[in-house]
Chain A
């Protein structure tokens, strides 16, 4: 039992505070690394084979929790990209587009099953390479990735039902560039619908988290997918640019920052390339006074501290109705004290390591800006490991709508709290953002929920819940959060031409 003591700070209403730090500690429950195999070096997966990079260069990928090297991976240059695109084009023309759709589907089902079979290994590597808590990679990232393949596999031979009065044809070769926050899951989000609709793929994982995508390449090889249908090449921004600019690519699918999304949009101007962009966000999460407060607080915690806040749809702007603001802020402060920050492989860990040194610097920059702008910062008092990249769960109160921490995407465990009085006011404030990826609303009143969900300009709206995902549920943004949808029936649209 945690000890219960009276706090001195609020003696008047006799508030009790649970004190977790002193007498409530968990024994370490680390997942074993032995269940995963990581090679010391990875080449490029092109045309069904592991090929040495023409660049002859490799770069390290490290564990952000202790800064130790995990492996080194090839850095693809333009010539490597050329090779990968040629393999994908060849596979498309000669094989994949001619394959009977139901057989196409069966390959994808096979991949889904193999991801399930190797789930434990994938989860461990995901946490080692990216820093996310094993609980999340085990219970969310990996199973959702497998489910995504399973969901789209079934679409392969049913596309004529998806678009009324139209038939579909594939686009050709898709160049796909994914971020470091959900490495395997994003690979699944990109590859599964592309293959189901008959396209072939050149995929580049993020430079800080290439390992699970390379493991996926092993699975694809094991699944005996025809060579060249999926090519996975590693590298940084230059490799991504080479993919975007390659003349023989028909479609660019990108998930990442709005800044890079805009560069891609400009780069493909004057070409026939199709593009879908899933970009940044600054989601408003709104708590009304009639909301079930404890449930809402849990939702806010999940909304911003899930995956260290490295989530494009994170609920990073909290709007609390004035009448309950004090109560909610107090509960949030109490709650972040209880979050366990530490070893990503420990099954008790709530918040793992920040993905990279660079990202930690970005977060620190915003913490500084927040304080400079006059907001009040509060962070958990937890201790942080000596090595690796870490950030305490943090919140800001006294934030103004115009503050940069309320306008810009921080992509870390940092919550900005603002208050409001009326429905109209909060709608105005919530929509006053260049982004429009997601939003949340907490209230007990059904009609108010639908008023809010209807008027908020965002692609995914969670009512009395937050950060939920499913393969059958379309995801994607309004405004500068990008265009196109991933997941569900609507996710097929990104990879087909409609013909009469």
Chain B
């Protein structure tokens, strides 16, 4: 591929250092440039901190080869992320819908520019090259798709209501607030993009738990977000385990909705139960093929929208008939 290898296992690092002493007095291999490895960190409030817990886990491919040390995010990381998401909500939700569309388009542009890097990571995470290429292409197109919806779904799902009294009455969708998302475990890039895009296209902010076993693309996607004029805090991405974090994702009192993308009925039950605490809206996106056309729709945007109805009196002008 001829690209910078994104990660090198710790054993490989040791080998390249050791090779100097192994070779003894022979000409050292130091003229071979030492690769700069990437630290996979989490993304909160537009910044890349490590988990406050100082913990990590090892992401591996299917052969057991170590890909990277990844942050094992804690409940406190989640809470920090919710604070960031809530802080960003006012600004993001009141942006012009057109502007949100521009930013989603910019995200697609940035993703396109770093295609090769994502293909590399997808391959490392066990995808064959052809499928990796298809996944990144679909992910880019999905952002374009939702970019276009930003200033259109409101028109489609709004109504002017012909009330019987002398009032002007209309209903429009508005973002529900902060959304916590447990992203799909497979389709580690496309699934992630497919659940984030409709949520932020509609003006919400979110905290996302990346695929547990395939977290690399999610962190790299955070770098795309970071360079796309997306305000810090609109999307926050954590890495860690579903088992540890799922219950915190759904029982935080300042989260308005939760999206969960797997079939685990125990977790689903727990989520609907805990969501009752502050009546979060809960959505299960299991059995969705993110690769197909059913992986995208304005109805995904509408899931995290509230309908607001506004009434205002209409003056009846004295003496004026209907036909003037």
Chain A residues within 8 Å of B, Cβ to Cβ: 147, 164, 166, 258, 261-263, 265-266, 268-270, 277, 279, 434, 449, 453-454, 457-465, 468, 470, 472-476, 478-480, 482-483, 485, 488-490, 498, 500
Q: Are the CB atoms of A472 and B279 closer together than 8 Å?
A: no
Q: Is the interface of B mostly helix, strand, loop or mixed?
A: mixed
Q: A269-B273, A464-B312, A465-B312 given as contacts; is B165 within 8 A of A262 (CB)? A: no
| Cβ contacts under 8 Å, B272 to chain A | 265-266, 268-270
Q: Are the CB atoms of B269 and A270 closer together than 8 Å?
A: yes
Q: Are the CB atoms of A460 and B311 closer together than 8 Å?
A: yes
CB of A425, distance to nearest CB on chain B (Å): 15
Q: Are the CB atoms of A489 and B308 closer together than 8 Å?
A: no
Near A by CB (< 8 A), chain B positions 264-314 give: 265, 268-273, 275-279, 281, 294, 298-299, 306-313
Say if the beta carbon of B171 comes within 8 Å of chain A: yes
State the CA gap A269–B298 with chains docked (Å). 27
State the CA gap A479–B271 with chains docked (Å). 17
Option from A262, A461, A473, A479 in Cβ contact (under 8 Å) with B256? A479
State the CA gap A228–B298 with chains docked (Å). 36
Q: Are the CB atoms of B308 and A461 closer together than 8 Å?
A: yes
Q: Are the CB atoms of B307 and A472 closer together than 8 Å?
A: no
| Cβ contacts under 8 Å, B270 to chain A | 269
Residue on A with the closest CB to B299? A498
Residue on A with the closest CB to B271? A269
Binds A, one of B9-17, B29-37, B154-162, B218-226: B154-162
Say if the beta carbon of B176 comes within 8 Å of chain A: yes
Option from A263, A265, A457, A485 in Cβ contact (under 8 Å) with B275? A265
| Cβ contacts under 8 Å, B265 to chain A | 270
Q: A461-B311, A463-B310, A465-B167 given as contacts; is B276 within 8 A of A258 (CB)? A: no
CB of B97, distance to nearest CB on chain A (Å): 13
Question: Among A277, A468, A473, which residue has the most Cβ atoms of chain B within 10 A?
Answer: A473
7 contacts between A and B (CB under 8 A): A164-B156, A269-B272, A269-B273, A453-B308, A462-B310, A464-B313, A465-B311
State the CA gap A268–B282 with chains docked (Å). 12
State the CA gap A343–B272 with chains docked (Å). 45
State the CA gap A475–B312 with chains docked (Å). 15
| Cβ contacts under 8 Å, B169 to chain A | 470, 472-473
For the complex of A and B, 4 pairs with smallest distance between CB atoms: A270-B269, A269-B272, A265-B276, A470-B163
> A479-B256, A490-B159 given. 16 additional CB < 8 A pairs?
A263-B276, A269-B271, A460-B309, A461-B308, A461-B309, A463-B312, A464-B312, A465-B311, A472-B161, A474-B159, A474-B171, A478-B306, A483-B281, A485-B307, A489-B171, A498-B299
State the CA gap A269–B312 with chains docked (Å). 39
| Cβ contacts under 8 Å, B25 to chain A | none
State the CA gap A258–B309 with chains docked (Å). 21
Residue on B with the closest CB to A147? B164
